Amino acid sequence: MNKFIFVSGGVCSSLGKGVAASSMAALLESRGLNVRMVKCDPYINVNAGTMSPYTHGEVYVTDDGAETDLDLGNYARFTSVPLSRANSITTGQVYESVIRKEREGRYLGRCVQVIPHITDEIKARIQAVIDGAPDNDIVIVEIGGTVGDIECIPFLEAARQLIMESGRTNAISVHLTLIPIVAEGELKTKPTQHSVKAMQEMGIQPDVLICRAPVLLDEATRRKIALFTNIDNDAVFTCRDIDDTIYEIPQMFYEQKLDQVVLKKLGIEARHAELAQWHSVMERFKSRKGTVKIGVVGKYMDLHDAYKSVYEAFFHAGLECGVEVELVKIDSSRLEEEQPDQVMAAAAASSAASSAASAADGNEGINGILVPGGFGPRGIAGMVNAAAWARKNKIPFLGISLGMHVMTIDWARNVLGWETADSTEFNPDTKYPVVSLIAEQTDVKNYSGTIRLGKGVSVAEPDTLLLKAYGEKTITERHRHRFEFSNMYRKEMKDSGLVLSGFSADGSLVDCIEWPRSGEFGHPWGVGAMFHPEFKSRPTAAAPLFRDFIAAAKSNKGL
Ligand code: GLN
């Protein structure tokens, strides 16, 4: 019998429902249970692929090429749950398939309605995840949005039905709310009371409450909340605002016995929790020494979530290299208007780590530059200038997807002297299309779609930074891009010193490039990859390229 945990949120958005659900899943896994996770997104987009990272945050890509919500990235970082297209359900997908079935006449003349047709479709999709995992013990279903939103209603209704059908010992509701401090340090429980009322109006009595609060809730406050919300005293928990890192949340929940209460409610006998990996994350976190400054030169700089997995991967790499990674966000348009030397110096000086305390520990400039993935022409010239600056100044550089394109354009323009070299994404008529669409490259076969999406195998060449990072020739990472390094320039690029360090499994595409480590253009560490290593990075195992990039930045700093 499968057990369900439905995670919903109230009061407001951005309370960290995904992280809370993931931390709970991590604890259940630590007790030897097999867990699956499903995210329900109330938006009408079929998937997150078409949504701007500015407003919605990063598009997380799964092995099977689904473009999903960034919460799936949280699941992947905190747990070992397998994730695929099936684990992300959107209103758009649900309506799309119900309408298709209606057109095919599959509802036999009935009037097609939200209840039962839309809710049945949601339930069938959740059931499909369970059916695909016979070894599964618990499925955690996170319902995006906030209770009270119109969009959430069909998902909450489906949850209500599943709770009713499964029985309360097999399906529980975990509700996350906010306890603000309004005046004079007083914790306010009223919004939480209202939020639980809104859940009750939907027919769902939450079994467990997780309250996001600035401090750990005291016993009296917990009792008060329990009384007003019809929830057991021992089932009100705090998700305290973290001081340091989100990876302390599993331990925070464990100390409050959240997992034990959840398992008791589900009638599952609690096995011993093996938390060694989370302890080691926190130990490594606390024993980091010194700071490296990484300039991130991208387009979506204002919203942290836009490069969520990238920033997390840096944190993981810092844990592995024993150093704090300070990210200095640099708007690439500044590198078009001002001298790169000045922009970089100003960025380094503006960083928090430039305080007197850290000034003693080495080179105070930028210790590494990252150009992350992206789409569209805006800011590209600035990114190319950033790559040129890092190359000439021997600053470690990592280019991801678009970042590798930028590295290629810099090499073509500034080393080969092809001033107008470009990607056909930005200039379709360029005389030197050093990056172009797969379809524009005549000698490439076997790529049916126009976008490489999801899991792909790359093969590393001998004696490369790429091979050193992964420790083996065969690399499996995830892609999400249309444009490729142009094969027709392979020879000129190589002859001028650029290292073509990784190829697609059939050899037809250049997947990774590197700046040479010796000779006229000798550089300590400059790597570009068409895949996105950040998607598979975990606090317990940093993405190899991020790890080695941070190690190189550490050397640059003199640590
Ligand atoms: N815009 C580029 C492409 O489509 C790069 C995409 C990316 O950075 N993921 O190929």
Average of per-residue pLDDT values in the chain: 93
Q: Give the number of the atom of ligand 1 that is nearest the alpha carbon of residue 479.
A: 9
Q: Give the number of the atom of ligand 1 that is nearest the alpha carbon of residue 372.
A: 8
Look at residue 211 in the predicted model and tell me its pLDDT: 97
Neighbour-count burial for 171-204, b at 16+ CB within 10 Å, e otherwise: bbbbbbbbbbeeeeeebebebbbbbbbbbeebeb
Residue 1 has pLDDT above 90, yes or no: no
Query: Would you give the end-to-end CA distance of the chain in angstroms?
Result: 54
**Looking at 391-444, which runs of residues are DSSP E strands?**
397-400, 422-423, 433-437
Between CA 270 and CA 497 the distance in angstroms is 59
Query: Which of 279, 348, 328, 330 has its CA nearest to residue 540?
Result: 279
pLDDT grade, residue 448 (50/70/90)?
Answer: very low
Q: Whose CA is nearest to atom 1 of ligand 1?
A: 375
Q: What number of other Cβ atoms are within 10 A of residue 126's Cβ?
A: 24
Distance 82 CA to ligand 1 centre (A): 26
- Which residue out of 483, 484, 511, 535 has the highest number of ligand 1 atoms within 8 Å of its CB and is therefore the one to mutate? 483
- Which residue out of 58, 481, 530 has the highest number of ligand 1 atoms within 8 Å of its CB and is therefore the one to mutate? 481
Residue carrying structure tokens 């949280």: 74
H/E stretch holding 528: strand 526-529
Q: Whose CA is nearest to atom 6 of ligand 1?
A: 481
Mean local confidence (pLDDT), 525-553: 97
Look at residue 105 in the predicted model and tell me its pLDDT: 93
Distance 383 CA to ligand 1 centre (A): 14
Look at residue 357 in the predicted model and tell me its pLDDT: 46
Between CA 83 and CA 66 the distance in angstroms is 10
pLDDT tens digits, one per residue of 90-108: 999 999 999 999 999 999 9
Contact residues of ligand 1, CB 6 A cut-off: 373-375, 401-402, 425, 480-483
Distance 402 CA to ligand 1 centre (A): 5
Q: Whose CA is nearest to atom 8 of ligand 1?
A: 373
Residue carrying structure tokens 């399906």: 171
Residue 184 has pLDDT above 90, yes or no: no
Look at residue 310 in the predicted model and tell me its pLDDT: 96
Distance 11 CA to ligand 1 centre (A): 37
Lowest mean pLDDT among 144-153, 325-334, 355-364, 487-496: 355-364
Between CA 365 and CA 387 the distance in angstroms is 16
Percent of the chain with pLDDT over 90: 84
pLDDT grade, residue 45 (50/70/90)?
Answer: confident
Helices (H) and strands (E) in the chain, counts: 20, 21
Q: Give the number of the atom of ligand 1 that is nearest the alpha carbon of residue 435.
A: 10
pLDDT grade, residue 48 (50/70/90)?
Answer: confident
Mean local confidence (pLDDT), 417-425: 96
Q: Are strands 60-61 and 67-68 parallel, antiparallel or unpaired?
A: antiparallel
Three-state SS at 8: strand
Distance 548 CA to ligand 1 centre (A): 23
Residue 180 has pLDDT above 90, yes or no: yes
Mean local confidence (pLDDT), 196-202: 97
Q: Within 13 Å, how many C-alpha atoms sit on residue 197's CB side?
A: 7
Higher pLDDT, 322 or 352: 322
204: CB partners within 8 A, 6+ apart: 6, 8, 156, 159, 160, 163, 173
Q: Give the number of the atom of ligand 1 that is nearest the alpha carbon of residue 480.
A: 9
Residue 233 has pLDDT above 80, yes or no: yes
Radius of gyration of the chain (CA): 25
Higher pLDDT, 312 or 51: 312
Higher pLDDT, 539 or 447: 539
Mean local confidence (pLDDT), 415-421: 97
Most confident of the following: 152-156, 442-446, 449-453: 152-156
Three-state SS at 186: coil
166: CB partners within 8 A, 6+ apart: 1, 2, 3, 4
Q: Cα-flanking dihedrals φ and ψ of residue 474, to 5°?
A: -90, 120
Mean local confidence (pLDDT), 49-57: 79
Residue 470 has pLDDT above 80, yes or no: yes
pLDDT grade, residue 519 (50/70/90)?
Answer: very high
CB 20 within 8 A of CB 210: yes
Mean local confidence (pLDDT), 290-294: 95
Distance 186 CA to ligand 1 centre (A): 49
Look at residue 356 in the predicted model and tell me its pLDDT: 45
Distance 373 CA to ligand 1 centre (A): 6
Q: Give the number of the atom of ligand 1 that is nearest the alpha carbon of residue 375.
A: 1
- Which residue out of 60, 309, 401, 450 has the highest number of ligand 1 atoms within 8 Å of its CB and is therefore the one to mutate? 401
Q: pTM, whole model, 2 decimals?
A: 0.93
Residue 354 has pLDDT above 70, yes or no: no
Residue 137 has pLDDT above 60, yes or no: yes
